[in-house]
Amino acid sequence: MREKILEEINRIENQYDVKICYAVESGSRAWGFPSKDSDYDVRFIYVHKKEWYLSIDQKRDVIELPINELLDINGWEIRKALRLFKKSNPPLMEWLHSGIVYYQAFSLVEKMRAIQNQVFLPQSALHHYLNMAKGNYRDYLQGEHIKIKKYFYVLRPILACKWIEKYNTVPPNKFQELVKDLLEEGQLKDEINTLLVRKIKGDELNLEPKVTAINEFIEKEIKRIEVYTKTLSVSKEDITPLLDELFREILEEVWSSSYKL
């Protein structure tokens, strides 16, 4: 599949006359709990030629390919990415730390990582992950019998919140790392690890009785995190000039280079 993804990246560059700086996995594979039928969620950041930016017209700042049963691939133009980076956009932060990198060129990502602590807003990330946990819990984990694989889509954002609370940094992508660091040994951790092994092994994990220990943990943590987020008030200096300069540097680097995929 990696070869197929690289072929798509090359095709996108040629079709849209852009350069891709970074392409990664962003879904359950990057989070460490893929199913046997999980598709590939590829996300990338790209740069147009200089002339594209010297126009009075507003232009589309995303590239989205039709989704097939195995591959979901789309990307953000660099200015869109940097604007969201300035807002500490959690999905973008996850891209920067994906453990599955399909392609990387130029210095953009290293430079973004070097200043991520200057843009990271814990309250923004907490609200994102808390809302994700609440929404998925409401939609998927009600009733006595549930699709228990959906637990991971509630537990991961809750654990991301707990990581932010503990370390005040961007949480790791890997679910296993969050579990190891944040949960004490005991029934809850054992139940979660058992489900994780089953999911990765390929068990269907369709409708089954809910796991009481996990449900109780989720409900307690959602309420606690809601209270905690209201205590936060963090401000950051405006780094727009720094990101403007970064954009210009990358634009020059990309289009003065003779690099080919």
pLDDT band at 200 (very low <50, low <70, confident <90, very high): confident
Residue 199 three-state SS: helix
Please name every residue paired with 101 in a beta bridge, in sequence order, or none if there are none.
24
At 98-127, the pLDDT tens digits run 999 999 999 999 999 999 999 999 999 999
Residue type, 242: L
Cβ atoms < 10 Å from Cβ of 144:
8
Residue 228: DSSP 8-state: H
Phi-psi region of 106 (alpha: psi -120 to 50; beta: other; left: phi over 0): left
The whole-angstrom separation of Cα 210 and Cα 257 is 55
pLDDT above 60 (res 260) = no
Question: In the numeric block, which tokens belong to residue 43?
Answer: 């996300």
Q: What is the pLDDT at residue 257?
A: 64
H or E stretch at 43:
strand 40-48
> So what's the pLDDT on residue 75?
97
pLDDT tens track for 4-17: 999 999 999 999 99
Kindly report the average pLDDT of the chain as a whole number. 93
What is the percent of the chain where pLDDT is above 90? 81
pLDDT at residue number 185: 96
Q: What is the pLDDT of residue 150?
A: 92
CA neighbor of 182 nearest in space, from 196, 170, 171, 191: 171
Average pLDDT over every residue of 68-87 = 94
Q: 81, 73, 107, 76: which is closest to 2 by C-alpha?
A: 73
Mean per-residue pLDDT for 198-205?
Answer: 81
pLDDT at 223: 97
Q: Per residue in 31-58, pLDDT tens?
A: 999 887 788 999 999 999 999 999 989 8
> Tokens 């634009």 appear where?
251
pTM, 2 dp: 0.92
pLDDT of residue 236: 80
Query: Model confidence at 148, in pLDDT bands (50, 70, 90)?
Result: confident
How much of the chain is in helix, strand and coil states, percent to nearest 5?
55, 15, 30
Please tell me whether residue 177 adopts helix, strand or coil conformation: helix
- Residue 186 has what pLDDT? 96
Percent of the chain with pLDDT over 70: 98
Query: Is the pLDDT reported for residue 259 higher than 50?
Result: no
In the block, residue with structure tokens 């680097």: 253
Q: Which residues of 1-15 are buried (b: 16+ CB within 10 A; e: fewer)?
A: eeeebeebbeebeee
Residue 201 confidence (pLDDT): 85
